[in-house]
Structure 1
Amino acid sequence: MSLTSDPAGATDPGVGAPTDAVVDPTTSGPPRGLLVALAAGAVTAPLANLVPAVLTLPLAAARIDPAGATSLLSLVVAIGSICSLVAFPVMGRLSDRTTSRLGRRRPYLLGGAALTAAGGIVTALAGSPALLVVGYVLTSIGFSATFVAATSVIPDQIPAGRRGPASAIVGLALPVGVLVGLFAANLVSPNLTAMILLPAALGCVGSLVLAAFLHDRRITAAERPAFDLRAFLRTFYVAPRSAPNFAWAWWSRLLIFVGVAAIQAYQAFFLIAVLGFTAENVAGAVFLTTLVLTGPSVLVAPVAARVSDRIGRRKPFVIGAALIFVVGLVLAATAHTFAAFVVAMAVLGIGQGIYLAVDIALVTHVLPDPANPAKDLGIMNLANTLPMSIIPAVAPAILLIGASVAHPQNFPALFGFGAVAGLVGALLIVPIRGTR
């Protein structure tokens, strides 16, 4: 990875947008219409990837192999997740080096739309486990390409002091996108083919809208970062000694999302085992708690983003949001009624809104190579997704702590583990330099 910056900060006339080097962050906001297009691309990107994992893949797996549906689902999601983890930094590295006349990010928005469409079609028509795997792998890679490109728009085109609203849009894209996708799928339920294809179509349209309205900066071959085998291997790693601020930010985000994943991944089990819900009515409860989690986030995030921009500070918001996460997790761990659990999710939603509104803006201030941000933002996105793999690996052992016949699973211990992880994540923000 090259650690040099763009020496000219130039743009391709008629194509490029100004870089931070030539834009006064105190007087210039985002290009007109960019935030709307960014919202279209970022919010719809998860539809074809996360909605299947939550809703339609289990139904498709049951259609293909009723007896082994759960095992097939685990296999499909595991392979798709691995491909996505690899694709995030690789797509970022390739995007930073792209010299196409279309720009650096637009080809990946178009490619993401194409992969999303292909994946949706293959998944909808899949009649075998192999085709179901292929369909989800295509949508996973398509999501990675689109989301890395959308995230990179922030440091590419928006001045450092005006990134709060864009950070909020991208930060909220995943939870809002899941809700939008679930709503769209329910509109055409129980037609499984339509439930798969409609979210995929919306994802394609969102990527194309952002590609159409993006004034994408074009780089020359001379500006392209150097690339060799060592550079490729470094795609998956940023040395903490050379980029300590980025490393602190990465570990902070990972631990905070571990706390979030602890409750999101196991709330259905908690509702059944502790609060007495049944397998038949837990789905409605999970939708309600997800709505309660997302609603406050959507309301709080724009306010936090604008206040953060106005006062020029990021760290207090991120630390405060992480501490609110901890409070929410503690409330969830001690909840003995569904109403108390809903309150806990609302508190988590407030923390989530503040955090997602500001954290990406903070990260863009500490990128190791600001002129070529996509690769490092791809690595940062791993901190969002890895916890969903980490928590299932460690949760069984944690749930056994202090278990008894009367209480065979210790959910307070799991949520408490998440709270501790979130608290440590908040503390790791403190040593970051280069941003306030």
Structure 2
Amino acid sequence: MATLDPANASRGMAESLPKAALPQSSQPAPVSRAWLWHFALAWFGFWLLVMLPGQFMVAKISATVSPENKVGVASFLIAETAIVILLSVPVIGVLCDRTSSRFARRRSWVLAGFATAAVPFALVGLQTNWVIIALLVAVVALGEAAVLVALSAMIADQVPVNQHGRASAAMGVPQVLALAAGMVLVTMLVTSVPGSWALIGGLGLLCSLPFLLRFNEPPATVVSGNRASLRHAITLPRPSGYPGYYWAMASRVLIHAGNLVGTTYLFFFLSDVLGVKNPDDSLLILILIYLVACGFTSWLGGVLSDRWGRRRIFIALAAGLQGAAALLLAAMPTWDASMVAAVLLGLGFGMFLSVDQALVTDLLPNPETLGRDLGLVNTAQHIPIAPIVGWLVLSVAGYRSLYLVAAVIMLAGGLAVYRIKNVR
């Protein structure tokens, strides 16, 4: 009869529990407010590079370089970005977990990622051939993947469980602020296509530097390079052993996809369906309404979820509010309905941003593979569901059908979170 190794048994039991269940002594020391503010600024730079192309800049440059096939070009560029991130994040996650550097493993990848993303980003606006644009966008996506892996892993590395909601808000709230500030910059201050891409690329890189240069990263145990440890690093967590992790992943994928289905084509919805005179200005108005509502729930959701120790109810409510926004546009495609939908979407997405990352971080299976496991979740949300669904629906139907599909996808994401049993 085989004997049971107590050390292995206790280690396996610890790995099967979410971080919240581990002893407090194993938790990192609390981070300061200054750390959270600088961390948020780095995410602000990242979200400038990520959000503006998907919400406005890709649609604008597609209409400029290929007006006769603008929907097809925009869908391709967005799908291409998603596919590059989808393929590269798991690999970068493994490499990041195993990196040893004097500058620190996470910061090295964050800095390299920002440089790789920002420089070609600044060159995109100078191009007139969409094929060259697509090549540059692929390089940008590779850099974004590196930042996404390493910067999000810092939450699991350096932040205790009772601050996960605040750190999640520091990651999510800048997404809202970056979209607001960026839209003002590219629609009102620097409106030329070349200038707007150069400006956002430069700002994205600069915003990362204060955090990277001011705060030291605590030393990490370097995983040995033998074949067994490498096999462990690339072996996915077992769904039967960590079902909550995979249900959290499914919930994030669905809610993100539904939101993107509804928002990616909003510029075309305003011009082609509502027939507004100036789609740029109209989109900016809706985004500002959305962002005010988003800001109302973003920080509040993170703080309350930490205080009450609950995550699922906030995710479900966030999905319901966003689904209601999409259903409203499907039922009443008018300008007034669009403004109400912007409020509902903002309230829901702000709450989602401030709690979802905390939920996922609470469920990470193994402290030795934090970058990889967070990378898998962050990669999954970039599965190109939105551009595929958008292209298919708009090819055979109209925008009412598109928003109905978006609502169904987001509501399914809200239901999925209740399949998680080991987090409240």
Give TM class, smaller chain: 0.7 to 0.9
2:7 — aligned with what?
A: none
2:5 — aligned with what?
A: none
How far apart are 1:331 and its partner, in Å? 2.2
Report the TM-score, using the length of structure 2 for normalisation.
0.84
State the alpha-carbon separation in 2 of the partners of residues 365 and 40 from structure 1: 23
Q: Which amino acid aligns with 2:412?
A: V
Matched, 1:247 2:235: no
How far apart are 1:362 and its partner, in Å? 0.8
2:377 — aligned with what?
A: 380
State the alpha-carbon separation in 2 of the partners of residues 430 and 238 from structure 1: 20
C-alpha contact (below 8 Å) 1:5/1:371 kept by paired residues: no
1:285 — aligned with what?
A: 282
Q: Which amino acid aligns with 2:265?
A: Y
2:6 — aligned with what?
A: none
Structure 2: 5+ residue stretches without partners: 1-9, 13-21
State the alpha-carbon separation in 2 of the partners of residues 288 and 282 from structure 1: 10
Do the aligned partners of residues 23 and 292 (structure 1) sit closer, same or farther apart at CA in structure 2, a change above 3 Å counting? Answer: farther
Q: Which amino acid aligns with 2:295?
A: V
Matched, 1:318 2:315: yes
Question: How far does the alpha carbon of each residue in 1:70-116 deviate from its partner, in whole angstroms, 9 at most, with x for none?
Answer: 76555544433322222222222211111212222100111012213
Q: Which amino acid aligns with 1:344?
A: A
State the alpha-carbon separation in 2 of the partners of residues 121 and 331 from structure 1: 37
Question: For residues 397-436 of structure 1, what are the structure 2 equivalents within 5 Å?
Answer: 398=393, 409-436=397-424
**Number of equivalenced pairs:** 407
Question: How far does the alpha carbon of each residue in 1:289-326 deviate from its partner, in whole angstroms, 9 at most, with x for none?
Answer: 22222221112111121111111111221122222222
Question: How far does the alpha carbon of each residue in 1:115-162 deviate from its partner, in whole angstroms, 9 at most, with x for none?
Answer: 134313543554655543332222222222122222111111111111
How far apart are 1:173 and its partner, in Å? 3.5
Report percent identity of matched pairs: 28
How far apart are 1:260 and its partner, in Å? 1.2
Matched, 1:135 2:136: yes
State the alpha-carbon separation in 2 of the partners of residues 312 and 24 from structure 1: 16
Question: How far does the alpha carbon of each residue in 1:223-245 deviate from its partner, in whole angstroms, 9 at most, with x for none?
Answer: 679678866765xx554223211
1:219 — aligned with what?
A: 220
Q: Which amino acid aligns with 1:316?
A: I
* Equivalent of residue 357 in structure 1, options 331, 354, 358: 354
1:100 — aligned with what?
A: 101
C-alpha contact (below 8 Å) 1:315/1:435 kept by paired residues: yes
C-alpha contact (below 8 Å) 2:122/2:200 kept by paired residues: no
State the alpha-carbon separation in 2 of the partners of residues 417 and 63 from structure 1: 29
State the alpha-carbon separation in 1 of the partners of residues 191 and 309 from structure 2: 49
State the alpha-carbon separation in 1 of the partners of residues 322 and 126 from structure 2: 41
Report the TM-score, using the length of structure 1 for normalisation.
0.81
C-alpha contact (below 8 Å) 1:162/1:309 kept by paired residues: yes
Question: How far does the alpha carbon of each residue in 1:208-227 deviate from its partner, in whole angstroms, 9 at most, with x for none?
Answer: 22211333133344567967
Moved more, 259-268 or 50-59: 50-59
Do the aligned partners of residues 108 and 325 (structure 1) sit closer, same or farther apart at CA in structure 2, a change above 3 Å counting? Answer: same
Do the aligned partners of residues 297 and 71 (structure 1) sit closer, same or farther apart at CA in structure 2, a change above 3 Å counting? Answer: closer
Do the aligned partners of residues 20 and 413 (structure 1) sit closer, same or farther apart at CA in structure 2, a change above 3 Å counting? Answer: farther
SS in 2 for 1:363: helix
State the alpha-carbon separation in 1 of the partners of residues 422 and 23 from structure 2: 15
Do the aligned partners of residues 225 and 393 (structure 1) sit closer, same or farther apart at CA in structure 2, a change above 3 Å counting? Answer: farther
State the alpha-carbon separation in 2 of the partners of residues 351 and 431 from structure 1: 20
Moved more, 157-166 or 191-200: 191-200
Structure 1: 5+ residue stretches without partners: 7-18, 402-408
SS in 2 for 1:105: helix
2:120 — aligned with what?
A: 119
1:268 — aligned with what?
A: 267
Question: For residues 18-417 of structure 1, what are the structure 2 equivalents within 5 Å?
Answer: 22=25, 29-57=30-58, 75-126=76-127, 129=130, 131-186=132-187, 188-222=189-223, 234=235, 238-274=237-273, 276-278=274-276, 280-386=277-383, 389-395=384-390, 398=393, 409-417=397-405
2:19 — aligned with what?
A: none
State the alpha-carbon separation in 1 of the partners of residues 160 and 389 from structure 2: 41
C-alpha contact (below 8 Å) 1:317/1:354 kept by paired residues: yes
State the alpha-carbon separation in 2 of the partners of residues 107 and 251 from structure 1: 30
1:406 — aligned with what?
A: none
